Structures are given as C-alpha cells and as structure tokens.
C-alpha cells in the first residue's frame, strides 16, 4: 500500500509470549510442562523487526518488554553480562 511506499521506516513488534498465552494447554499434562518452559523463556522479551529503513539497515532487534507499563527497553542477554565476583 501507499503507507509502506511513503514511510521512511516500517517496524513490526513480535512477542512470542502473547501467542503462547493464547495456547495454554490443560494443567497437569505433558504439553503443559513444555508450554510452561516455553513461556518462561519468552516472558518479558520482544523482537522489533525493522522491515524497511530508507536510510539505514533492516533486521531484528531483541528487546525487553515490561507489560505493566507497555514499555520496551534494552535486553541484557546472559552471554553479554559481566562475570560476577563474590
């Protein structure tokens, strides 16, 4: 459409948690345990897909999502955290 043609930037937000929440299986089943693990992995995370950027690169950016505030922030991934000292 013309919106995509006229836009300098087109972004899509994807949150796996949103879609997993709608597929919750019955409690106590094997599927529930698998679903719960997937939910724990997806909770609080989002992806911002830069589908078009007229003057820059496209790609996907991982973000932290704070649902109570509908807020996105930088996601500090485990492998990027400094070692902790005792």
Residues 61-80: pLDDT tens digits?
Answer: 999 999 999 999 998 766 66
In a domain, 68, yes or no: yes
pLDDT score, position 2 = 80
Instruction: Quote the pLDDT of residue 4.
Output: 75
> Does residue 86 fall inside a structural domain?
no
Q: 19-67, pLDDT tens digit by residue? A: 999 999 999 999 999 999 999 999 999 999 999 999 999 999 999 999 9
pLDDT for 81 equals 62
How many whole angstroms separate alpha carbon 64 and alpha carbon 70?
11
Whether residue 84 lies inside any domain: the answer is no
Give domain status of residue 70, yes or no.
yes
Report whether 31 contacts 23 (CB < 8 A): no
**In-domain check, residue 82:** no
Q: Residues 18, 66, 33, CA angle at the centre, nearest 5°?
A: 45
Grade residue 3 by pLDDT with cuts at 50, 70 and 90: confident
The domain total for the chain is 1
- Is residue 10 a part of any domain in this protein? yes
Q: Assess contact for 50 and 58: CB atoms under 8 A.
A: yes
């Amino acid at each position: 459409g013309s919106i995509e043609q006229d836009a300098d930037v087109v972004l899509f937000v994807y949150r796996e948690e949103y879609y997993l929440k709608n597929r919750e299986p019955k409690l106590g089943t094997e599927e529930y345990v698998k679903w719960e693990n997937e939910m724990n992995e997806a909770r609080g995370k989002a992806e911002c897909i830069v589908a078009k950027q007229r003057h820059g690169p496209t790609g996907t950016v991982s973000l932290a999502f704070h649902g109570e505030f509908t807020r996105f922030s930088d996601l500090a991934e485990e492998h990027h955290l400094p070692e902790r000292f005792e």
